[in-house]
Amino acid sequence: MRHPVRTTVVLLLVALAALPAAGCGGDPEEGAVKQVLKDQIEYLQNEDVEGVMSTMHPESPQYSQTRAVVEQVFEVYDLDYELDSVEVMELEGNQAKLRAVQVTRKVNGPEFTDTRVTAIHTIRKTGNGWKLYESQTESTEALAPQGD
């Protein structure tokens, strides 16, 4: 039997996929864009709803759903997030697009399929810096549970 939260959780995790900051060198704006997502994954790991929301663009079409879904996910699951890769596809003016591959695994909670998700993230600059505006899934791969 499928858990009613499962589909919503997977969609949220795609929207909230996150990544570490850029390495040494490179464009400082690229590092700033990646930092938004690095911060978001840290907030997800720490189950910090306000932190997650601080990384979201206030005009994001996904903004209104995010808080409720994040709260529900944190209440039901303990998840682990890992970045496989990140690529800055474009960075122009006040907008950037990133392709990221994130692995999400269940640590504790009801039925959940561990996944590897590739998503395109749109990051937009606001008066308060760069914020996650929108995420779209390119692909989702179900993973075997660890230890199997």
User: What pLDDT digit, counting tens, does each position of 8-54 carry?
Assistant: 454 455 555 433 333 344 678 898 998 888 888 889 999 999 999 99
The CATH number of 6-142 is 3.10.450.50
Torsion sign, CA atoms 134, 126, 56, 67? negative
Q: What are phi and psi of 44, to 5 degrees?
A: -60, -45
Q: What are phi and psi of 79, to 5 degrees?
A: -120, 155
Task: Dump strand ranges (E) for 22-94.
Answer: 78-92
Nearest to 33 by CA among 71, 81, 86: 86
For position 16, what pLDDT does the model report?
Answer: 55
Nearest to 57 by CA among 11, 91, 2, 95: 95
Name the residue ranges covered by the structural domains of the chain: 6-142
**pLDDT tens digits along 47-77:** 999 999 999 999 999 998 999 999 999 999 9
For position 9, what pLDDT does the model report?
Answer: 53
Two tokens, residue 95: 């907008």
